[in-house]
Amino acid sequence: MRKITVIGTGYVGLVSGTCFAEVGNRVICCDVDRNKIERLRRGEIPIYEPGLEELVAKNMQQERLYFTSEVGEAIEASDIIYIAVGTPMSDTGEADMRYVMSAAKKIGEHLNNRKIIVNKSTVPVGTAELVREVVQANKKYPWITFDVVSNPEFLREGSAISDCMNMDRAVIGSDNAEAAKVIAELHAPFNTRIFTTDLESAEMIKYAANTFLATKISFINAIANVCERVGANVIDVAEGMGLDSRIGNKFLQAGIGYGGSCFPKDTYALAHIADKAGYDFELLKSVIKTNQRQRFIIMDKLRESVGGLAGKQVAVLGLAFKPNTDDMRYAPSLSIIPELLKQGASVRAFDPIAVESARRELPHEVQYFKSVEQAVAGSDVCVILTEWKDVLDMDLDLIRQIMKHPIVIDGRNCFDLQTMQRSGFEYHSIGRASVNAAGRDRHSVNF
């Protein structure tokens, strides 16, 4: 059993800390936000992640998981200190390091014995050395030593518990073999492959992995846009590509672009790192531009199908950036819904989880409904932005009957073209021909 303190109770800190406790360690999760800590002590989870609430309750009951706002005391009580604070994107595109540096300063002030300090936050290359310098500068007892390790996270929102308990790999960057061995042993219960490297490479791996996946998404979306113009079906194209073992089928689902807490800020951050290093990363900048443009394809399809939006009732299904999360960060809905309102439409929105988060981010004119059916009733057109199970399983015959006009703009390619044709919908998706479009589109089919 190891004594671990995790600084930061956001997505990464809370999930990682809980999973470390689940495999038998004593874990203190701490945060300067006293209100959040009080909620966690009451068993109230501030984020939505399937299975997390139950796992937190279990480990609190078994006295392996604790929450405190006394960060200094938590640091002194443990031998391994994880920094898992946010690194949001700054105005320049680079990672905002204020919270990481603040945590490092606090660790230095409360360094009471030898500790391993682990960077879990997504940070620029060179951060481990910065943390080392800040801790060293703030030590009260000069003779106490410490090590700094980089251990980036690769959790996916919506499946974070499974990703942590059965992780693909644990990347451990260190310049001290003994410290690396301790962190490797900490990950042994997670049925994972340990990959040990130097500090700088570990920090780069996180950015390189996320930006590569973002590149795959932007690439298939660009291919989808070409497919529409030449009459190809991007789903078939992606499947054929994915059969090549060198490519694989993951992250080849065409849609309206990536969002969330990682890809947007990590792509910008790596572009900034490259610029700072004197390299013009044109490919990555094109990935970012492609993603920014992709979400507004929805608006083009709306104009083609219904003309002007003034006075139209638009049902928007899905607000979070992906299913199984309430995360609204960089969600397409944050760009599309304000544009709908600006053009005079009224918006009837549905999301099974993210409504409270959405209310804080979206204009007050948005109307929220508790079911797909309530949202689409009487609407002129339905726009799908998130592929929630409620959306995938909706009764198409009923939906057609209760809509004013059976028009669906699907930004996530949720439905088969033949199914939508048989159900009587005018259906526009991404990278595929439209169905029942009355010849308005360059490429439309009727089966």
Per the annotation, the verdict on 262 as an active-site residue is: yes
SS3 annotation, the chain: CCEEEEECCCHHHHHHHHHHHHCCCEEEEECCCHHHHHHHHCCCCCCCCCCHHHHHHHHHHCCCEEEECCHHHHHHCCCEEEECCCCCECCCCCECCHHHHHHHHHHHHCCCCCEEEEECCCCCCCHHHHHHHHHHHCCCCCCCCEEEEECCCCCCCCCHHHHHHCCCEEEEECCCHHHHHHHHHHHHHHCCEEEEECHHHHHHHHHHHHHHHHHHHHHHHHHHHHHHHHCCCHHHHHHHHHCCCCCCCCCCCCCCCCCCCCHHHHHHHHHHHHHHCCCCCHHHHHHHHHHHHHCCHHHHHHHHHHCCCCCCEEEEECCCCCCCCCCCCCCCHHHHHHHHHHCCCEEEEECCCCHHHHHHHCCCCCEEECCHHHHHCCCCEEEECCCCHHHHCCCHHHHHHHCCCCEEEECCCCCCHHHHHHCCCEEECCCCCEECCCCCCCCEECC
What are the C-alpha distances in Å from 347 to residues 157, 313, 396? 27, 6, 20
Identified catalytic residue from 19, 30, 262, 414: 262
Beta-bridge partners for 407? 426
| Active-site residue list | 262
